[in-house]
Amino acid sequence: MTDFEVSLSYEPADQQWGESAPLSMHNSGAVIHLAESADIMRTVAVAARTLDNLNLKQVKLCGDWSFDQQWTFAMSYTRARSPGTIKWADTDDKSRLENHYAAMCFTRQLVNDTPEDLSPENLASRAADWLKELGGEHVNVSMTTGEALKDAGWMGIYNVGRGSERPPVLLEVDYNPTGDPQAPVDAVLVGKGITFDSGGYSIKSSEGMLDMKCDMGGAATVTGALGLAITSGLKKRVTLLLCCAENLISGHAYKLGDVITYKNGVTVEVVNTDAEGRLVLADGLLRAGELGTPLIIDAATLTGAAMVALGKDYHGVFSMDEQARNKMLDAARAENEKFWPLPLEPFHKNRCPSAFADTANSVAQKGGGGGGASNAAGFLARFVNPEGKGWVHLDLAAAYQGGATAELPVGATAKGIRSIARMIQDF
């Protein structure tokens, strides 16, 4: 196969390609012109999308490319269905790029798979198998499934998932490269793994349900991040917890007005079965607390309110621990990923009041009312230590594109895997 060569130039394109054209063609490929670009990475991304739309089988990056320029090209060039392959530029970054790209592709594939193919058990098994492949003997896996969740007291995952014929799962993956079974756990990653979200009895509209295969984007993102950290030489002990369920309607599904009692004694009235993500994450956070770790990061496609605030460009960052929040933002800046802080104060714990339980799981109002993303984070704050020390909540507004844009293909983005991998390495 003849390579389609793509190079960078800081000279303007010939006039025949148009004024300030970002892209020109020649016999063996294309040139991306950065000369007059105010935003070089956006120019690379837009050019990559243009080339991807040509349905090329393979491209070769030629000449002088930085790591981030190649990564940006790959993020934009790699479409969801039958993507073309990329040959990296001849630089010292090849091995690092291959590891990053593998984590990106794994993350995107999980999110883009059909909800029929990706049941809760399938999500858990695929995440575990990939991490075992990367971590070998350092990886140990346990799964709590179906009725065993109720027996173990993981009532959030159990109740959200019990309406489906395909059972819910709590996956626990222990990556321990120290060789010491008594080594402390340095960090815990918790991911929302709702493999399809109908909304339950608070049912979504048809168009609102179309992209709900992506509601396990948090689980995919933290799995991709841990895999990336492992291949980057992670020496710390890290536990991954995936809270996996299908939120469906049946005669056995949970209902509005139900009260769920959690392991820590907190009672929760269900006022919206479409606010299910926080119910399953609560179990994951409780389990993370049992492990005595100094750092907990949870990630979820949790609220539409985060997308209203941030669009689909940034992930929302919530923490009551200023140091942890700042370190998360520093990690994102170092990895050139867009994260943005949103408010979380102790009073947000009380923003979902209930007359029948300690709290409701939302406000009985469309979209969760004003400040919905912060209120959801406040709900989760009930399931970590009272001061929220060492806990960071990520609302992944930028995890999925319902349609292609000038910069990104349709579907999963895998944005965030780099920042989370750096955070658990540097914290």
Could you state, in chain order, the average pLDDT of each consecutive group of 10 residues for the chain (427 residues)?
91 90 94 87 96 96 97 98 96 97 98 98 98 98 98 98 98 97 98 98 96 98 98 98 98 98 98 98 98 98 97 97 98 98 98 98 84 97 98 98 96 98 97
The domain defined by 105-426 folds into Aminopeptidase (3.40.630)
Asked about 422 being catalytic, the answer comes back as no
Residue 37: its pLDDT value, please?
Answer: 73
The contacts of residue 248 (CB under 8 Å, 6+ apart) are 163, 164, 196, 198, 200
The contacts of residue 108 (CB under 8 Å, 6+ apart) are 78, 80, 220, 411, 412, 413, 414
The structural domains of the chain, with segments of one domain joined by +, span 4-91, 105-426
Residue 272: its pLDDT value, please?
Answer: 97
Residue 219: its pLDDT value, please?
Answer: 99
Asked about 213 being catalytic, the answer comes back as no
Measure the CA–CA gap between 411 and 291, rounded to whole angstroms. Answer: 34
- Options 132, 204, 263, 338, the catalytic residue: 204
- Options 278, 351, 418, 422, the catalytic residue: 278
Residue 2: its pLDDT value, please?
Answer: 81
Residue 1: its pLDDT value, please?
Answer: 65
**Amino acid identity of 410?**
V
Measure the CA–CA gap between 398 and 387, rounded to whole angstroms. Answer: 28
DSSP 166-209: SPPEEEEEEE-TTS-TTPPP-EEEEEEEEEEE--TTSPPPHHHH
Please tell me what DSSP assigns to residue 88: P
Residue 126: its pLDDT value, please?
Answer: 98
